[in-house]
Chain A
Amino acid sequence: MKKLMLSAAVVAMALGAASASANAADKFKACWIYLGAIGDFGWTYQHNEGVKQVQAELGDKVETVFVENVAEADSATAIERLARDGCKIIFTTSFGYMEPTLEVAAKYPDVKFEHATGYKTADNVTTYNAKFHQGRYVQGQIAAKMSKTGVAGYIGSFPIPEVVAGINAFMLGAQSVNPDFKVKIVWANTWFDPGKEGDAAKVLFSQGADIIVQHTDSAAPITVAEEQKKLGFGQASDQIKFGPHAQMTATMDNWGPYYVRRVKAAMDGTWKSQQSWDGMAEGTVKMAPITNVPDDVKAMAEKTIADITSGALDPFGGKVTKQDGTVVDKVDDGMILGMNWYVKGIDDKLPQ
């Protein structure tokens, strides 16, 4: 037995030596750190689609590398590994990577860093995010038109500003159609757990909601909607194959154009630190085809999308009344990025 192992090892060694190939070092290396797995069909999946677009458009000139399932609290090692491995630009795609990104960036001033959804920048650290709430506004309008019970069920992940802003934009959209529209909110306390998300959807339907909205990443809620012959919206990516009769539209995170732009900028030396917050106008937020609704609803939704894209409509543009009755004249970007209050009409209490 031992002899057998030994000879196997020798053969393997010979094979290994023969195939060790030199890596093309002259390519521009662009790297990504992912929170989840590239197959989650949600947040990480969409980032990876963007990476594929970079590879497709810039072709031989770039090499793209990613590390997936990187825990936030312990991400500095993975980020630094990429920096040491010759990555010229590193995208860290979750909020929790903020401090580790800044820490590593300080050690590697020649490498460009881009941190998604954060708020701290440095000379070589840019932040970028997308105005997902624009899509929520459209969803709210559709939901208010399509709901028979006048109640939507909303599955939240965690009560962070981005999710709260989404709920508010959804309600503002819904209220523009039906001022009495209601929403029931369940926090799943996870970004991705189909079991929990499915349970939450079932519970919300049983509580009188007939439309499901989610700010978690799996396709379980839309699958439940399909099965119970209810309606819903896809999340992060087009989930129509999970709910061919249920999905009315989906807000899609379309990072490709941004990534291509930034990698190009880093390659030709025009990269500068900035805070980028793109939306429908720049193509970063896209809506999936509007399906399973009557023509008039579809026309309304498409007009809203066109208006938001052109800048004629801003979901938080007008006066907004908070849950406690105070009126905000102008909701600025900073308020959206740090949103910790509900708009009037939401009966729930925001977890603090």
Chain B
Amino acid sequence: MRLILEKRAERSWKMALASPLIAIALTLIFGGIVFALRGVEPLHGLYVFFIEPLTDEWAREKLIVKATPLVLIGAGLALCYTANIWNIGAEGQFVIGALAAGAVPVLFSGWQTPDVMLVMLILGAIGGALWALIPAALRVRYKANEILTSLMLVYVARLLFDWLVRGVMRDPLGMNFPKTVRFVGWQRLPTWGDIHLGALIALIAALGLAFMMARMLKGFELRTLGAAPRAGRFAGFSADKAVYFCFAVSGALAGLAGACDVMGVSKQLQTPYEPNYGFVAIIVAFLGRLNPVGVILAALLLALTFIGGEAAQVSLGIPDKIAKVFQGILLFFILACDTLILYRIRFESKK
């Protein structure tokens, strides 16, 4: 017997929907086994991890707060990956966005009109976009691999953040501790309960990108360049411009996510600041089928692993590492299941 993969004539839409569900199911089974190995009843463990948070208003709000940056970053990354452009450094763009937004309250702590909020959000987006354009330019100008350069810049961004927040941006009345002044009034995002305005921004951004990918020429261009670069070139699409475009958009969204995070959640900059949303969003992009709407659902699921992971720690005494394992294994199963979209699997006995 051997396994034969036959290329499907067309992408299987049924499988495109089924494959993430199969992947989630496999992850749950895997999770049950891990729980069992640790002496927790598998179903009880899975219930605490994945269901219980949904039954509680407070946890649902927290879920949306956690999902917000993941949607913003994940939607941008989905765009990149569709075009076969590999921005792995969203985490760095996120941190720079937070830094750029945070510079406003540090410099003008008294600025208290509604426009300060807008300025901070825009600065965050610009900061993230500029940081993302570095690897884009290096790829276009020097053919430097954007996977590696964008990733290296994550470490640089973190150190830059650390240096500034410990140094010139430090709160002068903060007993020398590494943090900025608290953001107040209009320097924060308006909230409904715990949910902040960023959630709405993320929703609009994801839907906007979905529209662009599905209905606009730009979307067609990026999909063509991703799937068949030669055909794209014949059609007159510029691969270089696509690199700049994708990095700028995904960087701006990551930067916006960073701005929203510090304006809506932590309300100040403090170091170390390594929330890892930029890396988790990679899983979100794939789980969401590289589709901005799918990304919204995927982000909620990944947010659930964070919230559930915390719940499991408190009520089951399960270490927080479990959440990371779930995230990793989930991406793994998705990729394996994705084969089902493009190929038909057949078993054939050896001739």
Q: Chain A, 152-171, contact with B by CB distance < 8 Å: what is the 0/1 string?
A: 00000011110010000000
Residue A244 CB within 8 A of the other chain: no
How far apart are the CA atoms of A338 and B176 in the complex, in Å? 6
Cβ-neighbour of A77 out of B41, B62, B270 (below 8 A): B62
Flag if B32 contacts A67 (CB, 8 Å): no
Given A72-B272, A99-B267, A99-B268: A16 and B177 within 8 A (CB)?
no
A42 to chain B, nearest CB (A): 16
Flag if A16 contacts B176 (CB, 8 Å): no
Q: Which chain B positions have C-beta within 8 A of A8?
A: 29
- Which of B127-135, B136-144, B232-240, B313-321 binds A? B313-321
Flag if A85 contacts B315 (CB, 8 Å): yes
Flag if A68 contacts B313 (CB, 8 Å): yes
A344 to chain B, nearest CB (A): 20
Q: Which chain A positions have C-beta within 8 A of B166?
A: 158-159, 351
Residues facing B in A57-103 (CB within 8 A) are 65-69, 71-74, 76-78, 80-82, 84-85, 95-96, 99-100
Given A73-B266, A161-B177: A189 and B275 within 8 A (CB)?
no
B210 to chain A, nearest CB (A): 28
Residues facing A in B277-298 (CB within 8 A) are none
Flag if A82 contacts B314 (CB, 8 Å): yes
Q: Which chain A positions have C-beta within 8 A of B319?
A: 37, 68
Cβ-neighbour of B270 out of A67, A72, A339 (below 8 A): A72
Flag if A84 contacts B179 (CB, 8 Å): no
Q: Which chain A positions have C-beta within 8 A of B9?
A: none
Flag if A71 contacts B275 (CB, 8 Å): yes
How far apart are the CA atoms of A167 and B184 in the complex, in Å? 35
Interface size band for A: 35 or more
Q: Chain B, 310-348, contact with A by CB distance < 8 Å: what is the 0/1 string?
A: 110111000110000000000000000000000000000
Flag if A73 contacts B270 (CB, 8 Å): yes
Closest B residue by C-beta to A117: B177
Cβ-neighbour of A16 out of B43, B182, B273, B275 (below 8 A): B43
Flag if B177 contacts A160 (CB, 8 Å): yes
How far apart are the CA atoms of A82 and B58 in the complex, in Å? 12
The interface centre, meaning the residue of A13, A15, A96, A159 with most chain B CB atoms within 10 A of its CB, is A96
Given A99-B182, A189-B162: A19 and B41 within 8 A (CB)?
yes
Closest B residue by C-beta to A80: B58
Given A5-B29, A67-B313, A72-B272: A19 and B44 within 8 A (CB)?
yes
A321 to chain B, nearest CB (A): 20
Flag if B314 contacts A65 (CB, 8 Å): yes
Flag if A67 contacts B314 (CB, 8 Å): yes
Closest A residue by C-beta to B56: A84
How far apart are the CA atoms of A352 and B217 in the complex, in Å? 51
Q: Which chain B positions have C-beta within 8 A of A15?
A: 41-43
Flag if A73 contacts B265 (CB, 8 Å): yes
Flag if B41 contacts A16 (CB, 8 Å): yes
Flag if B265 contacts A76 (CB, 8 Å): yes
Q: Which chain B positions have C-beta within 8 A of A71?
A: 274-275
Flag if B175 contacts A119 (CB, 8 Å): yes
B311 to chain A, nearest CB (A): 7
Given A67-B310, A68-B313: A95 and B268 within 8 A (CB)?
no
17 A-B residue pairs with CB within 8 Å: A9-B43, A12-B41, A15-B43, A16-B47, A20-B44, A67-B314, A69-B320, A73-B261, A73-B266, A73-B270, A77-B62, A81-B310, A81-B314, A99-B266, A99-B267, A337-B175, A339-B176
